[in-house]
């Protein structure tokens, strides 16, 4: 079992327009008059921060909300597409159809209904906002630099291969310089959720594992925090 989630805490990264971050307040902690220890806390967070899921409703008016995403979109076979070398050379790198075809040349056709996780290597930069996002100015999104998925690659995966889920170990499935968030639009139109800020993918094989990505079940949610686990069969 491989945990693919960053923990939520004071250094959790959010989209620059969210300036509140993660809050965890202590309501009680200590010995009670009854002689036993008791602790309780309350938390507050935006939907789209830390390791989280984007529901299709995030970019599609009629798309599924967080609580209504079918389980077969959340527990499904997974593959890893590793573009970390290309991303290391270009922080604005976009996954191309050639990257997908090269993977298929070695491992076979991307399975229909599978989860495709893009490994850019960006998880190693977490939680350094400047290194991870390319800019750490609160509220500013015009100078972000991190890799994502190109439009043609997204259409190949979603519209031709029929994948069930897209995920990436950077801040967004769309690269930092995107202004139209076209990959979000493509996926949402097909009711395909996204996983963003996925943790280190280096321990996963290119294929042959089961992915479980279960978000907080928020009614009407456009997204939610998610705990992601990859289950790799023993050799």
Active-site positions read 58
* Predicted pLDDT at 235: 78
DSSP 226: E
Contact 169, 123 (CB under 8 A): yes
pLDDT tens sequence across 115-150:
999 999 999 999 999 999 999 999 999 999 999 999
The domain locations on the chain are: 2-231
What integer pLDDT is reported at residue 212 of this predicted model? 98
The overall pTM is greater than 0.85: yes
Half-sphere exposure of 72 (CA within 13 A, CB side): 5
**Residue 157 near residue 203, CB atoms below 8 Å:** no
Q: Is 205 helix (H, G, I), strand (E, B) or coil?
A: coil
Low-confidence residues in the chain, pLDDT < 70: none
pLDDT at 200: 98
* Most distant CA pair in the chain, distance: 67
Fold of domain 2-231: Glucose Oxidase; domain 1 (3.50.30)
Give me Rg for the CA atoms of the chain.
18
């Amino acid at each position: 079992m491989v945990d693919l989630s960053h923990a939520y805490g004071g250094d959790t990264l959010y989209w620059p327009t969210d300036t509140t971050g993660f809050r965890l307040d202590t309501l009680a902690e200590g010995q009670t008059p009854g002689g036993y220890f008791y602790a309780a806390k309350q938390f507050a967070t935006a939907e789209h921060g830390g390791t989280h899921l984007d529901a299709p409703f995030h970019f599609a008016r009629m798309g599924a909300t967080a609580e209504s995403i079918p389980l077969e979109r959340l527990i499904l076979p997974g593959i890893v597409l590793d573009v970390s070398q290309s991303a290391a050379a270009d922080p604005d790198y976009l996954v191309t159809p050639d990257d997908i075809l090269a993977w298929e040349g070695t491992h076979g056709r991307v399975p229909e209904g599978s989860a495709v996780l893009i490994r850019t290597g960006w998880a190693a930069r977490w939680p350094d906002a400047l290194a991870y996002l390319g800019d750490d100015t609160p509220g500013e999104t015009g100078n972000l630099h991190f890799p994502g998925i190109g439009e043609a690659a997204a259409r190949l995966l979603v519209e031709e291969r029929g994948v069930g889920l897209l995920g990436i170990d950077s801040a967004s499935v769309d690269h930092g310089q995107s202004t139209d968030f076209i990959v979000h639009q493509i996926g949402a139109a097909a009711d395909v959720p996204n996983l963003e800020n996925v943790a280190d993918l280096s321990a996963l094989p290119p294929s042959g594992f089961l992915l479980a990505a279960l978000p907080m079940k928020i009614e009407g949610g456009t997204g939610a925090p998610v705990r992601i686990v990859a289950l790799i069969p023993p050799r």
